[in-house]
Amino acid sequence: MARLQCAIAWYLCVLILGGCAGHVENKRFEYGAQTAPVFTGSLKRDLFVEGHVAYQDQAQTEFAGTFDTQGFPHHGVLTQRYIDVNNKPVTIKLNGKFKVTSTVSAISFSGAFSIEDERQQILAQSTKSKWRGKYSNVHPFQAPLLMTLNGKNQYLQYRRNISPKGRPETYPIIHRNLAGPFTIKAGFLEGLPRGVIKISAVNDQNKYFAVERQYFNYQITPQPVHYFYYEPGTFSNIELLGNCDHAPNLTVPQHLLQVFVYDCAKTQFYALSEDYPESVLEISTRDIDNGGIFHRLRIYQHGVITEANVNVDALYEGKWLYHGPLTTMFYGNLNHYQMYELGKPIGIGIKMDENGANFVSANQGDSGIDLPDSGLRNSIESQYLWYKQRVDEHFSSLLSSVILSPSELNKLKADLLKDINENKPLAKDGQVAGLPGLWESWQRQSIAQLSTWQNSKESPLALKRQILENLEKWYEQSEVLLLAESSQRCARAGKSLNSQDWRCELRPNSELIQVCERYFDVQKCQTMSDNFVRSQNKTK
């Protein structure tokens, strides 16, 4: 009678309750056209209760343990696999508690983890950790995408690079050429390292000490920020990263900065300086002159990036003096743009405040502005046009000749030399340093061309072209030099040069407007300009 009652109860369980927990072996479940899991263990209403499931996904996800009431992993061991940078399989093992939050299509984990290579050697591990995975489709028969560390974590790492192939940003890559193990103390957000991470190695006393730090902020758009630096006091020589035998020459006073790495692939130096605490200085080889001194650098401090030109002579003396444009980006947005002269801000710049971006004037307090004579620019043009006309006249009757006779050649050279020697430098070009030197340089080059010209090898047309090319170069360089000097004089008074009216004015020039439009739209920059002019007029 008792056995009959038991059998009836079992059938009622199946018919009324839809099925009690039962055991299956290697049962394959169907899920539309997608790959379905293979399960061994206890089932209830076709939901996993306890056992082992292989999800048959790209990460070869498997789980062994108990499941929650919805059939998702709850407590046990989850394994996933990926291919590393060496094209070798790597396995992640998570042993602990899992929780699925369907509203955000994610699964969270807390517990122990290990990352192992194909020979089951430990690459990284911890007894306490936090992980997170995303679901492309939240369903008990679907596995989460590759799990990633989440939140604050501390773990041991035995190899410098354990990231998946093609995704180097997944885990911090250790740059120090030291043997492991390393302790990694790091934060993670959205599957990526975030903030400052600390990397420590074992010393001779078998104690861990900090050897490297890195900063990550991949959430900054459009340019994510990631940089690293070696712990001060733990290095003495420049370390080479990549495939190169030596670093280029970099001449800099030791007390000014300490270079710790040269990146062969990026052709950049990375250095520390006591003048820039908690920052990394990046120096590109393209900004280093033949003497090994640099004139531009980039400074990283968390999400703040500053690009600045510096005065070379001041570097030799062991001093930092900004000289040229300086741009500061604050977590992906322009914070400050300003021109500098020997460490002092000049001209009109852009600065952010609580009300947004504005043009600002950097007046050095000059009592007056002494621009070069307004007629100097016209004089330069007149001299250029005069000599161009003279060259045309001298060659006009000779261009039909392929080879000049000795008398024609002597006459041509004499006429050209006479114009070169008799046309004196401009009377007022001494107002701008460098203008007399430019003219003298042009004279020397022209005389040298005439003296070395071979009548038998070149036509008169070729000689004329060379002379006019040098003349054009002199004219362009003189114009640039004059405008640069005039702009600088206006800038010292916190103004910009109006080259058309040849005066300084409190209005952003076209170059600054172009800078503004790199970061803001055209209408925004126009409004900023109008507001600046209006505010300056009120203060007069």
Radius of gyration, CA atoms only, the chain: 36
Residue length, the chain?
540
Q: How far apart are CA 423 and CA 387, in angstroms?
A: 9
Task: Name the DSSP class of 71.
Answer: S
The per-residue pLDDT for 115 is: 98
What is the structure's pLDDT at 516?
A: 96
Rounded to whole angstroms, the maximal C-alpha distance in the chain is 140
pLDDT of residue 17: 41
Phi–psi pair at 170, nearest 5 degrees: -65, -45
Predicted confidence at residue 15, as pLDDT, reads: 38
Cα separation of 502 and 493, whole Å? Answer: 15
3-state secondary structure of 169: coil
Q: How far is the CA of 422 from the CAs of 204, 362, 411, in angstroms?
A: 79, 45, 16
Q: What is the sign, positive or negative, of the torsion defined by CA atoms of 286, 287, 289, 294?
A: negative
Q: What is the dihedral of CA 511, 512, 516, 521, to 10 degrees?
A: -60
Check: CB of residue 63 under 8 Å from CB of residue 77.
Answer: yes
Query: Hey, CA dihedral for 532, 537, 538, 540, is it positive or negative?
Result: positive
Burial class (CB in 10 A: 0-12, 13-18, 19+), 455: middle
Cα(268)–Cα(248) distance, integer angstroms:
10
Q: Can you give the pLDDT at residue 351? A: 95
The answer to whether 384 and 471 are in contact (CB under 8 A) is yes
Composition of the chain by helix, strand, coil, percent to 5: 25, 35, 35
Spatial distance between the Cα atoms of 363 and 346, rounded to a whole number of angstroms: 6
DSSP 455: T
* Close Cβ partners of 411 (under 8 Å, ≥ 6 residues apart): none
Cα 339 from Cα 349, distance rounded (Å): 7
Residue 99 phi, psi (nearest 5) = -145, 125
**If the chain, 540 residues long, is cut into consecutive pieces of 10 residues, what is the mean pLDDT of each piece?**
45 43 86 82 92 95 96 97 95 98 95 96 97 94 95 96 94 91 96 96 86 95 92 91 92 89 96 94 95 94 96 91 96 95 93 92 69 84 90 77 73 85 64 85 86 70 86 93 89 87 88 94 94 78
Sign of the alpha-carbon dihedral angle for 375, 380, 381, 387 = positive
